[in-house]
Structure 1
C-alpha cells in the first residue's frame, strides 16, 4: 500500500497508485512468460517467494479433486490434459488417454456428430450428451461441456471441457420411473378389478348358458360374447403389464381416435364419478405411427394428473384436431390431442418444471403418478412433441402432437366363431404344460383340428415320452417349475435338432422371452384361439417341410 505523504495532491497520489499497479502487472506478466522465475516480496515479517507453479497449485488441486472429468483438447481433438477423474470415467489409465484422439472414446455411431460438436466449440460454448466407449467396448452415457480458450493472441486456442458420467443418474431415473409406474398400477387396481369381474361374469355366464342349453340356437351368440370378453381381458392384462415393466415402443400405424374411444371405459373406472369425461374427436381417416398401449398410458396418466388437480370434481375433456397440412418433421400432417381439465392450474414456475421427472407438487406420500416426463418420452418416441398451457385458477391443457404416416394399417382379424378346415393329415403333437386346465383345453382344440395328442405335466416327463416316440411337433409352455421351456428346448435340440417347437406362453416381455429362447423361436401367446393355433401349426409344418 502506498502511503500518501504530506503535501501530495490527489493527482499525484492517483498517478503513484497507477505506476505501482502497472509495475505489478508487468511483474505478473514477466512471471507468466517465463522472463522472471520468481518474485520475492518483503512483507516486513519475512520474505515470501511467488512462482508460476505456486500460483497455479490451488487451481490444479481443485481440478484434480473434481468429481467431473476435466480435459483440454487441441482444435483437432487430441487430448492435451486430463485429470484423474477423466481416466476413471473412460475406464483407462491416463497414459492411454493423453495424446489420444478424444473421438476414440466416443461411440462409433456418434463420432461424426462429435466432430461437428468439437468444431462448434471453437466458436461458442457447446453442451451435449454422447455415448462414450470404455476400454472393454461398453457404452455408457455422458454429458460434455466444451469451449475454446485463447491463451494468447499468438497461440492457437485450446478446447477446455468437462465430462460428466450420467450412468448413475440414468439408473436413478429408471428406478424412479419404475416406482412411478408401480404407483400408477396401485391407482388402477380398483378400476381394473371391477372391469375384470365384469369380464369374468361375461365369460362364466356364457359358458354356464352353453352348458345348460347346448342345443339352443343362441349358442353361437353366447360363444361370441364369451370370446369378446376374453379378448377384452387380454387387452386389460397387456395394459397392466405395460405399466409394471420398462418397455420400448412398438410403433405401428393406428387411428388415434379409435385408441381414445376404446379406453373410455377404462378412464371412467379409473378417474371416478366426481370428474365428468367428455370426448370431442374430429373425424380423420389418416393413420399416425405410435404404440397403442403406450399412447393409452400417456393419456391415462394425463387423466390421473387432471383428476388430482380437481379434488372437488370438475371436467376432463379430450379433444383431437386433424391438421393435414405438411409441417416440419410431418410431411403428411399431424393429429393433435388435447387433454384439458378445469382444475387449479399451475404457476409459471411450476409449469416450467412440469416435465422434469424428479419434480412433483404433490405432498409426501401423495404420489407422483407416471410424470409428465414419461408422457413426453412416449410422444417423442413417436416423433411427436408435447407442450403445456396452464395458469392458476384456469385449469391445464396438455397438447400431444403426433405426425401422420403413409404406412398402411395393421388389420386385426375380425372376431368370429369360425370352423377352420381340418388338416388332411393330422399331426402327432406333444403338449408339455404344467397347468392341468390349460392342457385340457388345448388338447380339445388340437383334437378338434384332427391331431393326435400326447400330454406331459412337466418338462422332464415330456422329454422321457419324446425319447420313446418322437412327435411331429412339440407345444411347450415357457414358464414351468424345475425345467422351464427354454431349458427343455435346449435339451430337445441336442437330441432332435429338426423337431419343430412352438412355445405357448403368457409371458409378456418380448425381449426377455427372446433372450431365453432365441429371436427365431416360434411363440404362441396366451390367450389364443383355435384359428391362431391352427395357423401356427401350419406355419411350423411348412418350415419343417
Structure 2
C-alpha cells in the first residue's frame, strides 16, 4: 500500500509539474508572439521616423534658403537670385533621389507565389498578442475565401498584413472586432480587406491618409508608413486604399492585387525588351497647337503645369479628379495627357489604361514624384514616358513636340525622365 501511495503521489507530482511547464510554455509563446508583432511594427516605424526626421531637417534648410532668396528677388530682381533658386531646387531633387535610392536598397525583394489566406493566418499569429493582450482587446474575425496567390515577397507581404492589422487596431481605443476578408474579385484580381469598428474618416482625412508629409499628432508616423506600404503594394502591381464602411461606423484598408494564374509550369517572365507600347494604327501626327489635358489632384501643381505649357504654346486644360478627366476626354479630343501617378480615387496608371482604350494614338505620360523603377510592366506599357518631379520642362516640351509616333519616341528620355520600359531589377 505504501508503494501504491508513493506511486500515486509521484504521478500527481509529475502531472502537476507537467501542467505547470505547459502553462509556462504557453505563456512564453504568447509573450513571444506579442513581442514579434510589436517588433515588426515598431522597428519599421522607428526607422521611418528617423528617416523622416533627417529628411525634414534637410528640406527645412533648403526651404529656408528658398524663402530668403524669394524675399531678395521681390525686393530687387537679379539673375543670380534665379540661378540660386534653380540650384536649390536641384539640391532638393537630389535629396529626394537619395531617399528613393535608400528605399530601393531597403526593399530588395525575392518575389514568389504567396498564398494570401496562409499569409493572413501567419500574420494574425504574429499580431495576436498585440491585439488581444491589452486593457481593451481587439479580436479578429476571419472570412477567407481562398482567392489564390499573388506574386510578392513573402516576408514583406506578411509584414504588410501585420502592420495594417495594428494600424486598424489603433483606431479602436475601446477595443472591438476586426474583420479580415479575402475574395477573388475577378479571374485576374483578388482583394484583402481589413475592416475596423473605429470612427469613420472625415472626407479630408481620408483624402490625405497616405500623404507622407501629413502631420498627425496622435500617430505622427502612420501616414508615412501607409505611404510606404502603398508604394510597396504598387510595386507588386496592385493598390492599397482606405474607405469608410457604407453602412454604420468603421473603415477598412483594402489591398487589391493581381492573382497568380493557375498554370504549370509557371510562364517565364518576358525580358524587358519584349515589353512594347500598345500598337497604333498609324503614326501620330498633330497640329502645331497641341491640346493637352493635365490631371493632378494637387491644385498648385496642376495650375503651374498648365501655365508653363500655355507659355510654350499648348492649349491646356486641367482636371483635379480622374472621373472628371474621363468626362472631359469623352467630350473633346485631346492630343496628349499628363497624369499624376498617385490620386485618391484612381491612380494615374488606371486612368492611363482607360484613356489608352479610348484613344490608342494619344500621347500619355505619367508625372510623379515617386520612384518608378520596378513598376508593373503592364502599367509601363500603357504610357509613352514617365517624368519625375521636379520636372524638366525642356524634356517635357520635346516629348509633346513629337510629330511622329514612330521610333523617335525612344529618344525622349532624359535625366529627369524614366524610360517607359525599365529593366527587371528596377524599383518603383
TM-score normalised per structure 1? 0.32
Greater relative contact order: 1 or 2 (C-alpha under 8 angstroms, separation 6 or more)?
2
- Which protein has the bigger helix share? 2
